Amino acid sequence: MSKYITCTFSAGMLPSEYAVTIKIEGRELSLFAPKTNVVVTDADSGRGLLEVQVVDGDHNVIGLPAEIFELGRRFIEYPIEQLKSA
């Protein structure tokens, strides 16, 4: 099931991607995400929504479209109730 996390974004290394930052538990985490996985809500300020997949709703596990640089993994725990619908 697709849901969304609030994010900030800027140009990525490739024309088909964005450099994305998400905040989780007070930490900022970064990844390169395909442009197709980012819904732009305010292009001028670089704000948007990152599409994620709910992998295990009982244990708050979501799948991101790419690995997080700081953690080296795609699957993380995130409060399911804080996810947004498009």
b/e sequence 27-36, b meaning 16+ C-beta within 10 Å: eebebbbeee
Residue 67: domain span: 2-82
pTM for the whole structure? 0.92
> What pLDDT was estimated at residue 1?
81
Identify the three-state secondary structure at position 37. Answer: helix
* Domain total in the chain: 1
Tens digits of pLDDT across the chain (86 residues)? 899 999 999 999 999 999 999 998 889 999 999 999 999 999 999 999 999 999 998 899 999 999 999 999 999 999 988 999 87
% helix, strand, coil for the chain, step of 5: 10, 65, 25
